[in-house]
Chain A
Amino acid sequence: MARISKEKQNEIRNKILEVSKSSFEKNGYEETSTKKIAQEVGIAEGTLFNYFESKGEIFLESFTKGIVDFSYDSELKGEYASEILYNYTEKILKKTIIFPKRLITELGISMIKLARKKPKLTKQLAELDYQYIRNIENICIELQERKVIKETDIKFLCETLYSTIMYELMMYLYEKEITRTMFLGNIKLKFKKILIMIGSE
């Protein structure tokens, strides 16, 4: 790649991500091939692998970079904890569920298959969850300092919130009739109940 300028390289890289993203959305993970992506970008498949090691890596990057923004400053403005924690969670989840259910499920399966070959990818994917948990932990600590939530076991609170999301995500992915709005609504309701349980609301 030495003969191509840095700028040009970035351009190609972004083009690959862009083309892949729309193909993932349209055709699913398994049906998207690196060969077709390369064709559409106008490069050789071999060249594509100079930019990314694998299809999994492309997906992960098109998914994480620029799509999910984990920062939370503006969310902290709410007055009640369930509202603040939910608004932050909704922001993250809304970005995740822009993909069709089928694609998310398929990706999960593909990632499990890929995990043995590419442990690094699995780690990267898990890192998204850790990042979310770390951030709600930090939000909780801040809310505790502001006396929005009372002194409580923050680890327990975060674990409860996180398991709730995961449970609802499963239901959302496996039950055809559960829509995005219902999925988010269920989480919102449960967040309120959890905050009532810990005595903050």
Chain B
Amino acid sequence: MGIKLEEVTKIYESGEIKTYACKNMNLEIKDGEFIVVLGPSGSGKSTMLNIISGLDTPTSGKISIDKDIISDMNTKELTKFRRNNLGFIFQQYNLLQTLNVAENVEVGREVGIDPFEIDEVLEQVGLLDQKHKYPYQLSGGEQQRVSIARAVVKKPKIMFCDEPTGALDEETAKEVLSVLKKLNEVYKTTLIIITHNPSIGMMADRIIKLNSAEIVEVKENKNRLSAYEINWN
């Protein structure tokens, strides 16, 4: 699915003070594209992602995903749309600690209309042989791969990832990123990753840079690198 933002603005008002979290954002994301959103802390990355994915609503502007105008939907319609079409990987709130790997993926699967098989997805993220383990028995990277499997199993059209490697060391982060990239290639899922690490941008089709709530640069990346080819910094 493709995404279109037109003059999207989000303002937080605190008394007299207005804070722009997103300011007149215009952007088109193509179906199947791999996008990395970069920007310093407070530049509006999470807000932008929350708004595009219908978790939050803009103050003004228009957001459409394919033919659907997200910004015109009410809560009910939005929830339904999200449920049917979108996948999420958050920094927190990902895995249920009392369920094992397969059961956690099952939780994601039940939401889907035409989901993948659990084993197939676990195979893709390289965790098929660990499906009976519990989150506490896994490394940070493995846990994050379970989150990915969980989000992917319902066959989302778009995957939204807010700092999916934020808490991971370089090696583990690369392992997670290469899984995300693979899923984008295998399933043609539109993939949007938010990060403050510019080197991750080298993996994407396009890099969107934010600063002070505005899109300041949109850059094509002709030569997509694999996770293991990028120089980490």
Contact = CB atoms under 8 A, between A and B. Distances in A.
Interface of A: 78-80, 82-83, 150, 152-153, 156, 177-179, 181-182, 185, 189-190, 192-194, 196-201
Contacts of A189: 50, 55-56
A99 B108 CA distance: 41
B107 A198 contact: yes
Contact of A182 (B14, B75, B92, B108): B14
B73 interface: no
19 contacts: A79-B76, A79-B79, A80-B79, A152-B96, A156-B98, A178-B14, A182-B14, A189-B55, A189-B56, A192-B55, A192-B79, A193-B55, A194-B93, A197-B93, A197-B95, A198-B96, A198-B107, A199-B110, A201-B111
B60 interface: no
B94 A197 contact: yes
B83 interface: yes
A113 B231 CA distance: 56
Given A82-B79, A181-B13, A182-B12, A199 B56 contact: no
Question: Which 4 pairs of residues, A with B, have the shortest CB-CB distance?
Answer: A199-B107, A197-B93, A80-B79, A193-B93
A177 B111 contact: no
Given A156-B98, A189-B50, 6 more contacts: A150-B107, A179-B13, A182-B14, A190-B93, A199-B108, A201-B83
A146 to B, nearest CB: 15
B12 A199 contact: no
A193 B90 contact: yes
Contacts of B96: 152-153, 156, 197-198
A178 B79 CA distance: 26
A89 to B, nearest CB: 15
A199 B55 contact: no
Nearest to A83: B75
Given A156-B98, A189-B55, A201 B17 contact: no
A182 B17 CA distance: 13
Contacts of A152: 96
Contacts of A194: 93
Nearest to A79: B76
Nearest to B98: A153
Interface string B40-83: 00000000001000011000000000000000000110011011
